[in-house]
Structure 1
């Protein structure tokens, strides 16, 4: 089992929206490294830290789980989609997705500021690296455990 952090803007799709629909295809990823994580590295059963970004209090809002195998992202083929890619071919798709399922919402967001304050304990946490803007990031076992502990401290 591996662990991941997946970012979403809560105005677009929040942990509450995932809770409501139970499972959702993670579409619209248009960065090759993030795409490769979904396409080649993620596996059903992997844990996901659901991260709210670009909002007043960015941070980890809850947990999800990767469900199902990688599939071509259909938005790449829809001309009026924000994620349309005219160079992508249905016979050789360029962009992939994974479905994620809701696990639980935290009582409070584990904020980016709180994660930064824990930088020494979190070690080389990709989210805290300068200039890292990837929407999907790997999370180590130790980082996962520590963030769950932070979420439980109330």
Structure 2
């Protein structure tokens, strides 16, 4: 089992939105490394930290789980979508997604500022300068440490 962190802007799609919908396609990922994580490494049932980004207090807001194997992101084929990719074809899709399902909200948001204060988390991709991936691996040790902060 792998562990993940997936970022979403709460004004676009928040942990509360996922709680209401229960399950959602994680579309719009347009980074090859993030796509490769979804396509090649994510498995159904893998736990996911749901991270609120680009907001006043970015941080981990809840827990989700991977709910499907990777499949082609349909937004890449829709000319009306902001995620449209005219270079992608249905025969050889460039972009993939997974479905995620709601598990629970955290008792409190564990903020990025708080995460930065813990040496045990120093190697997390989230805390590395220049790393902006919307889908990132989390080690089991990091996962357990963060849950203990709750």
The bucket for the TM-score relative to the shorter chain is: over 0.9
Higher mean displacement: 120-129 or 60-69: 120-129
Question: Paired residue for 2:51?
Answer: 51
Helix, strand or coil: the match of 1:69? coil
Unaligned runs of 5+ in 2: none
2:130 aligns to what? 131
1:8-50 deviation per Cα after TM superposition (whole angstroms, max 9, x unaligned) = 0000000000000000000000000000000111000100000
**1:40-87 CA deviation, whole Å, 9 max, x = no partner?**
110001000000000011000000000111110000000010000000
Q: CA–CA distance in 2 between the matches of 1:136 and 1:68?
A: 15
RMSD, aligned α-carbons: 0.6
For residue 123 of structure 1, report the CA deviation from its aligned partner.
Answer: 3.7
Tell me the distance in 1 between the aligned counterparts of 2:124 and 2:68: 26
Structure 1, unmatched stretches of 5+, are: none
**What does 1:38-77 correspond to in 2, within 5 Å?**
38-77=38-77
Q: 1:146 maps to which residue?
A: 145
Number of residue-to-residue matches in the alignment: 150
Structure 1 residue ranges (4+ consecutive) displaced by more than 6 angstroms after TM superposition: none
Per-residue deviation at 1:121? 1.1
- Residue of structure 2 equivalent to 1:81: 81
CA distance in 1, matches of 2:138, 2:120: 13
Task: Calculate the TM-score normalised by the size of structure 2.
Answer: 0.99
Contact 2:116 2:122 in 1 (8 A): no
TM-score, length basis structure 1: 0.96
